[in-house]
Amino acid sequence: MMTDSSWRDTLRALPVFSGDLPGFNTDAAPESPIPLVEEWLSYAIDSEISQPHAMTLATAGADGAPSARTLLLKDITPEGLWFATLDNSPKGRELAANPNAALALYWREQGHQIRVTGSIEKGPRDVSEKDFLARKPEARAAAIAGPESEILSSQEKFRERVEEAKAIFDFRPDFVPDEWTAYVVIPQTVEFWQASRDRDQIRLRYSRDASGWVKNLLWP
């Protein structure tokens, strides 16, 4: 078992980046952040990075206590970045109490990170339904098998409930639970971070004001 000191030394010695890192010409950055989000995500997809659409979502309830988890980015539109979940899940309840969130997308292979803060809105019902029906059958069944994040007695119980849920879709293939909700994060700030081997990091932040978007470089 490692001591605190050996963990510190081990972690400090780990390599951070490998291969060549892309450049970032902030002078050529667009006037609004969404096109640059699309550009960086497209670059990650074209580079065949594993799970390029995985993102961290941070929320907080009425008590202000934060929580974070990794889920999948579902869409990018002019309004913002989309994800979906059950509105009676812990994150759904937190969003109902405090409709603000933070997102982070990170692609280690390219030294790219995007951080987003903003308000949360529920999308149209048809968007939520299309999102749920696009999920694989196993994922749809798991979503309705039991109350998310509640105590589970055993994996056997989970598998049993999933099989029961599958039977619902056999009978009603177009079934969508009322709780399934597509959410959009409407950005207030979007920060693009580009790493470099010499720690000469580049940070460009977009901030929304009454007239549109303001761009600023940030100290590393």
Most distant CA pair in the chain, distance? 59
| Mean pLDDT value of segment 129-150 | 90
- In the block, tokens 């579902």 appear at 74
The two structure tokens encoding residue 204: 């460009």
The two structure tokens encoding residue 177: 């639970």
DSSP string, the chain: ---HHHHHHHHHHS----S------GGG--SSSHHHHHHHHHHHHHTT-SSTTEEEEEEE-TT--EEEEEEE--EEETTEEEEEEETTSHHHHHHHHS-EEEEEEEEGGGTEEEEEEEEEEE--HHHHHHHHHTS-HHHHHHHHHS-TTS--S-HHHHHHHHHHHHHHHHH-TT---TTEEEEEEEEEEEEEEE--TTS--EEEEEEEETTEEEEEEE--
163-to-51, 160, 203 alpha-carbon distances in Å:
28, 5, 48
Kindly report, residue by residue over 73-119, the tens digit of the pLDDT: 999 999 999 999 999 999 999 999 999 999 999 999 999 999 999 99
Q: What is the DSSP letter of 31?
A: S
Q: Is 173 exposed, middle or buried (0-12, 13-18, 19+ CB in 10 A)?
A: exposed
Kindly report, residue by residue over 142-197, the tens digit of the pLDDT: 998 887 878 878 898 888 888 888 888 888 989 999 999 999 999 999 999 999 87
CATH number of 28-218: 2.30.110.10
| Mean pLDDT value of segment 26-53 | 97
The two structure tokens encoding residue 83: 């994800």
Q: What is the mean pLDDT of the chain?
A: 93
- Higher pLDDT, residue 62 or 1: 62
CB distance 152 to 158 below 8 Å: yes
CB distance 47 to 109 below 8 Å: yes
Q: Which of 51-55, 133-137, 140-144 has the highest mean pLDDT?
A: 51-55
